[in-house]
Structure formats: C-alpha cells, structure tokens
Structure 1
Amino acid sequence: MTMSVHGLSGAIVHLTVGRVLNIDTGDVPVTSYRGQVADPAVASFVAGRNDGSARFNPGVVARAPGITEVAMTAGSTAEPVRFTVVVAPR
C-alpha cells in the first residue's frame, strides 16, 4: 500500500502482518525522514534511501497484530506527521 506523506497526518492505516506501508515523500528527499514507532513489536519504521540507481521510499512494516502510533519528521524543525497503524493477523 502506498500513501502520500501529506495524507498521513491523523490517519488510521490498516495493514496485515508482513505488509508494508510505502510512504511517498513527494518533493522532499526520501532520506530526510526519520520515524518513531510507539510499539516496535507491532510495526517498525524503515528509513528511505537512495543507492544511486534507485530511490526507496520510507515505510512502515507490519510485524504483529495490534495498534501503534507512528511519528515521522523531515529535518529538525518540521512538525511531526503522526498517524495510527492497525495491524491485523494474516
């Protein structure tokens, strides 16, 4: 599933264990985002990267059933983008 970072603030994102939320950062470099997940047993944040031949968006990986909050920032002065991830079993 892919969502724009601009549509995530306050959103509730539903994922299934093993699925990934791919976050489209638009014009902001993919490497500028940092993320924090309240319950890393439920989901984990994966930083974006650029290996020179391809650009990989940041994302959230669903690890186990549950609900957790995610906060992302781009740079030290940006307001965090906060959203909820609900993970269902396979």
Structure 2
Amino acid sequence: MKSLRVLAAAVVVSAAIGLSACAPANPETPVIAPVTVDVNELQGKNVTIVIGQTINVTTGDLPVDSYTAEVSDESVLAYTPGRIEETAEFNPGFTGVRVGQSDVIMRNIQGGIQPLEFSVTVNADDSAE
C-alpha cells in the first residue's frame, strides 16, 4: 500500500512538472490573439493590429506557399511567407513591429490573380490602459 502511495505521488509530481512546461516563459507578457483574414477579403482594406500582433492570412483553395508580399515599410510590418513542412501548413502572415502604417501588395506566384493591395495600421499595445 505504501508503494502505491509513493507511485501516486511520483505521478502527481511528474504531471505538475510536465504542465509547468506549458506555462508562458514570462507570465507578465500577455498573449495577443492573431487576426485571421481570408485572402479574398483583403483587397482595399485597412487591417488594424497592435505591436506584436499577427495577421494570419488564409489562402482558401490556393497553396499557402503560393503568395509573395511587398511591404512598403518593413520597420512597421514584417512579412512571413506561407510554407509547408512535412504534413503541416503555415499560412502567410504579417506581424506588427512598431507603431505606424504600411501598404502591402500580395501576389500569387501562380499568376492569373489580381495583386491584392491593402494597408496595415499598427498601434501601440494599449492593454495596460
């Protein structure tokens, strides 16, 4: 019976240690949810995000790695191309770097699709207010 209790205690301690690995590195840093936008809804739009927030661009039936992007001010907005790694697909996206505004042109490398022109406004993180 005593060995059963020791085993149970060891399982509880192992679970607690394992779950602590899931905690954010800095609990003071809030997690900012991404903004998900379908590629067909971007034309002529302005998307507003905060510093550190991302725009997740869904590409519908087109491959996630078939888009390129030109960002007019890369000090305001960073582009991450879509990619396929083994069985995982990662959508193209943009991350707010600093306060400002940037124009974006996305093109599909397969051609035949009108370039998407839109802008992104990056605001300061006002969650502390």
TM-score exceeds 0.5: yes
Paired residues, number: 90
Letter of the 2:118 counterpart? F
Higher strand content, 1 or 2: 1
Q: Which runs of 4+ in 1 moved over 6 A?
A: none
How far apart are residue 53 of structure 1 and its match?
A: 2.3
Structure 1 unmatched ranges of 5 or more = none
TM-score normalized with structure 2 length: 0.68
For the residues of structure 2 that align with 1:79 and 1:6, how far apart are their CA atoms? 11
TM-score normalized with structure 1 length: 0.96
Higher Rg: 2
Structure 2 unmatched ranges of 5 or more = 1-34
- The higher relative CO (CA closer than 8 Å, separation ≥ 6) is in 1
How far apart are residue 45 of structure 1 and its match?
A: 1.1
How far apart are residue 44 of structure 1 and its match?
A: 1.2
Higher helix content, 1 or 2: 2
SS at match of 1:30: coil
Superposition RMSD in Å: 0.9
